[in-house]
Amino acid sequence: MEWNLQNILAYLTVALAIAWLVRKFLWPSAKKSGDCGDGDCGCH
């Protein structure tokens, strides 16, 4: 297979998309679910 710029950019885009999906859905979130947000959560 000849590695030209179009192939490199296509594989890089796919790899970045997969990495984003893994980080978004499978990686454990560091943010606590009970953390106060914009609404009135009654923690004051």
Q: How many CB atoms lie within 10 A of CB 27?
A: 10
pLDDT of residue 28: 73
pLDDT at 17 over 90: yes
> Is residue 12 over pLDDT 70?
yes
More confidently predicted of 34 and 1: 1
Matching residue, tokens 């959560």:
41
pLDDT of residue 30: 61
Percent of the chain at pLDDT above 70?
Answer: 61
Would you state the pLDDT for residue 39?
66
**DSSP-assigned letters across all residues of the chain:** ----HHHHHHHHHHHHHHHHHIIIIISPPSS-TT---SS--S--
